Chains A and B, each alone.
Chain A
Amino acid sequence: MVAKILMEEKELVKSWKEVAKQITVDYPSLSNLAIVGIRCRGDILAERLVKEIKKISGFAVPLGFLDINLYRDDFTSIGPEPLVRETKIDFDITGKNVILVDDVLFTGRTIRAALDALIDFGRPASIRLAVLIDRDGRELPIQPDYSVKKMAVGSGEIVEVKLKELDGKEGIMIVKSR
């Protein structure tokens, strides 16, 4: 049911590395930086950022994972309860510049939930948002600070991201929603 391939593995990997590079430019000191990925693809992308930043600067940025299912606003209307994965932020985020990472920014509701969840862990100095795809269809006033591609997609279409670590293959495609 793949309608269109948007990005192949090579380009995805390369452009995501550029995001890492841009972060090192924007935060030259890195010492106050933390990266938090939203399950379950943002966590993989966050991990890649941390690895790449380490390669560029030699500095290991603290990495955390966030599951936002308990913070959803559509909790009672999404069918059977989703599996809650473990949230793991084992450093203090208070005073840190946090980069929140997800695969696709669509309605903005996931990010809204993630912001609520994150703030329950402390009071970060700032939170910025990094995503692979910034697509249309926003329902909340939320915009990314870093994105690989900004695009408009038909209303009946979904942007699907596949990552090797989770899906065994890699790429971004547009599929028709059911």
Chain B
Amino acid sequence: MDKKLTPAVKIEKIHKSFGQLHALNGIDLTIEQGEFFGLLGPNGAGKSTLINILAGLLKPTQGKVAIMGHDVVDNYQAARMSLGVVPQELVFDPFFNVREMLRFQAGYFGRGRENDAWVDEVIENLGLTDKAQTNMRKLSGGMKRRALIAQALVHKPPVIVLDEPTAGVDVELRQMLWAFIKKLNNDGHTIILTTHYLEEAETLCERVAMMKQGKIVALDTTSNLLSKLPGKNLRLTLGQASLPSTLLPMLKNGENGIFTLALTELNQIEFALSELRKANISVQDMQLIEADLEDVFMSLVGEKAGGEKSDVQIHLGDA
């Protein structure tokens, strides 16, 4: 990456307090141009507060934030021109259809009719062509989500923040949005993503920051973070039987007869199986699973992140 380029986002010693609550406690973070960056953390970690400060929706109590070199307070107009934000909530203006709303949004950024071709391109890329004349009220949740993404793109911002863009959308739409966001990144846009889905962060993000209680507890490339945990997980399906007490120190989680053990070395598999044999428990199924970002998260944060883990997605809780 070219070190001479102005950082896409530079956050210096940001603090934010709401009365006695310190939502952010001295965040320092630099995101380079062209990065695909993930911001992860459980409820109340401060992700949304940080994004709202980037967007100018909240004022920092202390510290500085610059977007493409423009301070978000002192030079807010240039900073906002450089930033597109997809809010987490499905908000919309009920008076207008999709195309009208997008043209208004482009107009707020000083774009005129010359921008209409780009608006139509965004509409097409997001699969909204059939709904372009439809009032926002009449769109499904998934379509509203697409329209929100389109709204963040109409002024061609170099930096795009997506706050939980795939929350509550079906698998097909999620895949489509991933592909579209990847394309934006390939076209040179800097992407900052907060997500519930760790699988999403693993797949998309080159670098990840993990937040807890207003602080960044981990900041590294996704591959480095994953390599910090060489261990694997052993998932055992035992049916009605309970886990022998000798294996409880290794237990990560267990319910409905399925137990996941955290392994630091592979020879622990033999130990686990021998303990099961001693207890006369038969194994119905067994899987060896690579450590994932949730394991990294749990090892750093020291708590379960706050949701259900499945083969498809790992839920971290609301941002």
> A and B, one complex?
no
